Amino acid sequence: MIIKATSFCPLILSSQTVYARSPKVYRHTVNCLSAVYGRQRSILFVHSCKLQQPFALALTVTAVPLSGAATLPLHHRHGPCSPLTDKKMPTLEEMLRRDQLRAAYIQRKFSSSDANGSAGDAQQSDATVPTNLGTYLNTLQYVISVSLGSPAMDQTVFIDTGSDISWLQCEPCSQCHSQADPLFDPSASSTYSPFSCSSDTCAQLGRQGNGCSSSQCQYIVRYVDGSSTTGTYSSDTLALGSNTVSNFQFGCSDMESGLLLNDQTDGLMGLGGGTQSLVSQTTGTFGSAFSYCLPPTASSSGFLTLGAPTSGSFVTTPMIRFQNNPTFYGVRLEAIRVGGSQLNIPTSVFSAMTIMDSGTIVTRLPRTAYSALSSAFRDGMAQYPSAPPNGILDTCFDFSGQSSVTIPSVALVFSGGAFVDLDYYGIMLENCLAFAGNRDDYSSLNIIGNVQQRTFEVLYDVSGSTVGFRAAAC
């Protein structure tokens, strides 16, 4: 069926394809469908999104019943279904350069003793990743659409498990970047309220507090590339599909600096474990479990679910938390398999902490583990000539003249027996193995990046202290 810019909303009875004539009409369609199926306690899955001529987006969608949850379509920032106008992908070299900055910064925030501690130590250690964590914003790849205010205004925002504070660009803005949607105007919202400098909420900002202006609480978030966003810490009504959250706390940005000025999104939604995150703020509405599925390619779509079900076909592993910085979600990696065979890696090699991160692109492994993985993978790819390294990726192959490529399977094994058999798109980046080695085995934090998370529904059950993986979810 063809969707035009009208109030018509189609009824999806089973998996079928609908057509939207533009990204704007696409967003109307998805918002409309999400509202209808939200009232029917269903998730709307957008399986694929392909650009068709003339200016038509073909969406394959399915409605699946689910109660007590808010599910939003999730897109690659440069994909055809992204509301952002810039569809040009950065080169792999540029992506890897940015990724190295983010990963190195996060790793520096964990001392060698923190990275090498046991799960029990991590819960009580003095490990600190300061609340003003300076992640590298340009590595963030996935966006969702939300609405803010009364009346509601559509906003396109990044998601990031490495951030707690959510923020949006606001009118009036003395220095902001151009964005896909109109700037949020707090003066036009009847439910907008800035926090006072004397409020407990303002005090909880800690290092991300930035003093007062006209008795209103100010915030600042700094990024490792030198960018920053600052403005008034506020609250307003947030709409997630058909679900609304009253008094949602966020930063109303009126000043930006650095490379942030080159961005096109309207802001960011923090999915970290800290007090200010979207997840923590909506616990009373949806519970403390959330999940997402990162799509295999930029042309396909995934989803973000708040109030995700914690049972079903997930394989699970214990979640590790860091007492002095609750932002990150930790896990324990125990083994790696290639082609069905477990690699001969001493268990002590995996003694360093491992975190899940939606913003880091490539998974970082202990040096010994990466060397074993690279060697075994090369053996399984003996039919293809080697190719020169690409940045931090040094296990690369020449696929010239190949109409199809066969690669050995790669699986990550986490504590508790969670066996995660990676998708093809979770193993390769272009012609290279999408893993990198840390400088040694014990002093650096290990990171499970977003490439390896692709196609899995990754579950964060905060109250149940588990991380789960469900294969082939998007």
Catalytic residues, which ones?
A: 160, 357
Q: Which helix (H) or strand (E) holds 286?
A: helix 283-286
Q: Which of 158, 115, 99 is closest to 360 using CA atoms?
A: 99
Phi and psi, residue 309, nearest 5° = -65, 140
- Distance of alpha carbon 425 from alpha carbon 456, whole angstroms: 11
- Distance of alpha carbon 337 from alpha carbon 345, whole angstroms: 10
Residues 6+ apart with CB under 8 A from 317: 331, 332, 414, 415, 416, 418, 466, 467, 468
Please list, residue by residue across 86-105, b when 16 or more beta carbons sit within 10 angstroms of its beta carbon and e when fewer do.
eeeeeebeebbbbbbbbbeb
Distances (CA, A) of 122 to 44, 195, 275, 329, 413: 38, 33, 19, 11, 20
Q: Which helix (H) or strand (E) holds 346?
A: none
Phi and psi, residue 102, nearest 5° = -65, -50
Please list, residue by residue across 432-449, b when 16 or more beta carbons sit within 10 angstroms of its beta carbon and e when fewer do.
bbbbbbbeebbbbbbbbb
Identity of the amino acid at 368: T
Q: Which of 142, 162, 401, 145 is closest to 296 using CA atoms?
A: 142
Q: In what order do the strands lie in the sheet with 418-421?
A: 341-342, 333-338, 410-414, 418-421
Ramachandran class of 30: left when φ > 0, alpha when ψ lies in -120 to 50, beta otherwise: alpha
How is residue 91 annotated by DSSP?
P
- Distance of alpha carbon 219 from alpha carbon 17, whole angstroms: 44
Q: How many CB atoms lie within 10 A of CB 259?
A: 16
Q: What is the DSSP string of 163-213?
A: ----EEEBSS-SB----SSPPB-GGG-TT-EEPBTTSHHHHTTGGGEEEEE
Outline where DSSP puts E strands in 319-372.
Answer: 329-331, 333-338, 341-342, 354-356, 363-365
CA 265 to chain centre: 14
Structure tokens at 346: 């001493």
- Distance of alpha carbon 143 from alpha carbon 347, whole angstroms: 37
